[in-house]
Structure 1
């Protein structure tokens, strides 16, 4: 009898523990996916669907193919998503819709070279509404690959370039956490790397992303397997990789200028709040040589400057930093995150990943600001050297990392580039022609035979880069989205964020 009772108690205890474990897992699953944006209501994008047709845009000022000037009185004929003809005074074919663009300016659709969609499909509408017709997703998933196919079939959204999740070296529980919660591909061995890359290619990814904590052996193995499979690697400079190895590697597309700043900081020995001027002088002294190496080795660099410039403000006052961006369009799950327990990419004061702790000593704040201001200036110094030496510069924002609002952030990025000395034409090229060339796509230039990705603007961005925001109409792969569509997209996303 006692044995029977004992067995019943054990069974009940085991069942109870199993139920509690399953419930705990379900709660954790919900919370983690909520923090990546999963549960905000999805806007029905079908209401904005636009078909490719045939139309002629007349009397427009069109950005020249070198991006340096506007060509007056141009006619653009678009058919089935392609620019069929472009010239002054073209005759308009019969049965073609006519759009009078008198007094308007047309530039290529913009490209954000570094974004994170996470689990937030409403962002696709934000990109379109802000004239961003292509994005490079640099921490991709199978869901993003599905979105890419949907967009190719007509779903409203920018064309997607999808790189894999980040690759970091990790093992054990850390690897489990990375894979499940942090959206990282853990690498524990050099074994089976070719099979891993083959699975990436089979899934349809456009590139493989390497990350900060990928050790040298794993980096080399991944690089070699990618080279054999003819798939690009891009992303961060691993801590184990000095710059001379970077120049010789297959890492030809750096996700941030700050990757170079971090590498120079390691060369310097690690700067502090007390030797910022010495570090900045070191960066100045090295900047021309770094830019030359980038040029000599055909390495492209993504800017993400506006994000870097926001660090000191976010550390000092998250509330003030948020007041300067369109935070109402950010997925609320991503913005709220999970508080201090698991910040993920939190934006709000209680979850912001950059803010100083509440108990941070007040007397240390000036030094902290000095450190992060110097960090931003180091990025600016390198970008200035790079643009002078015609390095391949790709405008990118790290969108959805606080406080980079999808779509809006690219306009802020262009303003940051012009503020440090880029001409408006150079800034525009970094968000159109250069990135399109790096992606090997026929876009980014208004040219016969190229995909019809166009922005019709009210004002000339060559005179003021902020005029990229004066959007009258967005044309993405030949699909037209009017000013009314644009406002309705924005409003739909804002309302969805309110739940």
Structure 2
């Protein structure tokens, strides 16, 4: 009996120590991102400015408005004019630079607050998170309340899939009643839209669509092979994700240009459904196959430590194993990437709306940086710089109602900006290193943006990230 009491005590002490270690890790991680807090940071506290001596890339047309002034009041664009002389707002001289709407990445996976700074440092002022977890609701609230500075943050609920598609990264549905319940629950809890995933059956998909339509709750879909590809063109579905799924599903892994034309016809016939291609994440498979030291690259230091240790490594191992047993894999992946570019070219020629997304935050796709690579692929597919920039600005604003107040520089829109020395319509590359970023009128200058990058690269929050993911497994399953 005495031994049992001692053992129980030891177990209790061990549990207590584990709880204290976990709490300590989370507290330390929160303190590590204190540089993102708005209150107490004089550089971030104002959201009212008069920007002078600036050239505007409005994204309402392929043009530049030269030598303008922009008045921002309480984070919103109040006036745009050649001269504004009656304002008492603090003046910021843009030095003849170019003011562009902040960029939107429509497909990301966020793992910690450090990544918020990385997005801003790359000119990304809005993100659409497509793997919702409890931590994202807290993150969304903190950003919305302007407690922390970050890109405007919108998130799906947990990924909804069917009974045969197992995995701890999605929510399996088994009945239509469960589908109705989960859609309503996610709406009530504050998620912004539904994400349907790979294994969802037609019956369950119908239930999700029915309930989402009733609640006016947008759906974003990762296509499922359980229904025809044409099924995904429903009024409730605002974007279809991944160009690669065009090859994998309706084309059945064949690089068939005739069948591709049929898919292009589908998109052209349904203008309210946009494609979010995520070309960069697929191209990164090619990089995994051809760059032996990719996991030690400087770019990978921007990934969350848990993802780098688990997902990045697993993907490297997977494709290294495939390469050792299949001598054709490198050329096949490259050929499919090139086919994706052809798909974008054909879709663009038919005036299909594309919204830029990257799948950032998983594999070897770093937050923020990847969006510039995505836009570069669009120009390779035949878009002009202006047309490529539309996919990350004005096109997203036409996708969800909650994005309609951004994407262009117009009176009444949010003051989400990138300031660059040179014109991005001449060279999109200038957007990679902004002189200043503004989100809801709060100005972040270059030295602070550089600090955001450095803090993210130096973070060591693997345990804290694991604890937050464990919370997701407990709460959502």
Aligned to 2:468: none
Q: Provide the rounded CA distance (Å) in 2 between the counterparts of 1:359 and 1:403.
A: 17
Aligned to 1:285: 258
How far apart are 1:322 and its partner, in Å? 5.9
Aligned to 1:137: 129
Aligned to 1:73: 67
Q: Provide the rounded CA distance (Å) in 1 between the counterparts of 2:259 and 2:322.
A: 37
How far apart are 1:375 and its partner, in Å? 1.9
Aligned to 1:347: 312
How far apart are 1:412 and its partner, in Å? 1.4
Q: Give 1:356's match in structure 2, choosing from 320, 326, 336.
A: 320
How far apart are 1:146 and its partner, in Å? 1.6
**Is the CA contact (8 Å cut-off) linking 2:122 and 2:433 kept in structure 1?**
no
How far apart are 1:249 and its partner, in Å? 6.6
Q: Provide the rounded CA distance (Å) in 1 between the counterparts of 2:29 and 2:49.
A: 39
Q: Deviations over 1:103-147 (max 9, x none)?
A: 3111000000000013x2211111111111100001112221221
Kindly report which structure 2 residues correspond to 1:275-354, keeping only aligned pairs within 5 A, or say none: 279-280=254-255, 282=256, 284-297=257-270, 298-320=272-294, 323=297, 326-337=299-310, 346-348=311-313, 352=316, 354=318
SS at match of 1:357: helix
Q: Provide the rounded CA distance (Å) in 2 between the counterparts of 1:52 and 1:295.
A: 44
Q: Give 1:46's match in structure 2, choosing from 24, 27, 37.
A: 37
Q: Provide the rounded CA distance (Å) in 1 between the counterparts of 2:428 and 2:230.
A: 36
Aligned to 1:454: 417
Q: Provide the rounded CA distance (Å) in 1 between the counterparts of 2:290 and 2:11.
A: 44
Aligned to 1:226: 212
Residues 1:464 and 2:427 are matched in the alignment: yes
Structure 2: runs of 5+ lacking an equivalent: 463-477
SS at match of 1:352: helix
Q: Provide the rounded CA distance (Å) in 1 between the counterparts of 2:245 and 2:207.
A: 21
**Is the CA contact (8 Å cut-off) linking 1:318 and 1:355 kept in structure 2?**
no
Aligned to 1:162: 155
Aligned to 1:375: 336
**Is the CA contact (8 Å cut-off) linking 1:226 and 1:233 kept in structure 2?**
yes
Q: Provide the rounded CA distance (Å) in 2 between the counterparts of 1:256 and 1:398.
A: 9
Residues 1:407 and 2:344 are matched in the alignment: no
Q: Deviations over 1:308-347 (max 9, x none)?
A: 1221221343424763x6222211121012xxxxxxxx22
Q: Provide the rounded CA distance (Å) in 1 between the counterparts of 2:175 and 2:246.
A: 27
Aligned to 1:274: none
How far apart are 1:358 and its partner, in Å? 8.3
Residues 1:126 and 2:114 are matched in the alignment: no
**Is the CA contact (8 Å cut-off) linking 1:395 and 1:431 kept in structure 2?**
yes
How far apart are 1:85 and its partner, in Å? 0.5
Change (3 A) 1:139 1:424: same
Q: Provide the rounded CA distance (Å) in 1 between the counterparts of 2:433 and 2:94.
A: 14
**Is the CA contact (8 Å cut-off) linking 1:236 and 1:255 kept in structure 2?**
yes
**Is the CA contact (8 Å cut-off) linking 1:129 and 1:474 kept in structure 2?**
yes
Residues 1:189 and 2:175 are matched in the alignment: yes
How far apart are 1:493 and its partner, in Å? 1.6
Q: Provide the rounded CA distance (Å) in 1 between the counterparts of 2:129 and 2:363.
A: 16
Q: Aligned residues, how many? A: 444
Q: 135-144 or 52-61, which moves further after superposition? A: 52-61
**Is the CA contact (8 Å cut-off) linking 1:287 and 1:381 kept in structure 2?**
no
**Is the CA contact (8 Å cut-off) linking 1:243 and 1:263 kept in structure 2?**
yes
Q: 237-246 or 152-161, which moves further after superposition? A: 237-246
Q: Provide the rounded CA distance (Å) in 1 between the counterparts of 2:31 and 2:95.
A: 39
Change (3 A) 1:90 1:353: farther
How far apart are 1:359 and its partner, in Å? 8.6
Q: Give 2:394's match in structure 1, choosing from 425, 433, 445.
A: 433
**Is the CA contact (8 Å cut-off) linking 2:59 and 2:101 kept in structure 1?**
no
How far apart are 1:209 and its partner, in Å? 0.6
How far apart are 1:94 and its partner, in Å? 3.8
Change (3 A) 1:65 1:414: closer
Q: Provide the rounded CA distance (Å) in 2 between the counterparts of 1:357 and 1:185.
A: 29
**Is the CA contact (8 Å cut-off) linking 2:238 and 2:399 kept in structure 1?**
no
**Is the CA contact (8 Å cut-off) linking 1:52 and 1:477 kept in structure 2?**
no
Residues 1:112 and 2:99 are matched in the alignment: no
Q: Deviations over 1:280-318 (max 9, x none)?
A: 2x1x22333322321321211112111112212213434
Q: Deviations over 1:174-231 (max 9, x none)?
A: 86xx3xxx23111122224322221111101111110001122211121112112221
Q: Give 1:211's match in structure 2, choosing from 197, 202, 206.
A: 197
Aligned to 2:450: 487
Q: Provide the rounded CA distance (Å) in 2 between the counterparts of 1:140 and 1:117.
A: 9
Aligned to 1:341: none
Q: 482-491 or 49-58, which moves further after superposition? A: 49-58
Residues 1:262 and 2:248 are matched in the alignment: yes
Q: Give 2:379's match in structure 1, choosing from 411, 418, 442.
A: 418
How far apart are 1:95 and its partner, in Å? 2.3
Q: 310-319 or 231-240, which moves further after superposition? A: 310-319
**Is the CA contact (8 Å cut-off) linking 1:329 and 1:497 kept in structure 2?**
no
Q: Provide the rounded CA distance (Å) in 2 between the counterparts of 1:41 and 1:53.
A: 24
**Is the CA contact (8 Å cut-off) linking 2:72 and 2:441 kept in structure 1?**
yes
How far apart are 1:163 and its partner, in Å? 0.7
TM-score (norm 1): 0.82
Aligned to 1:3: none
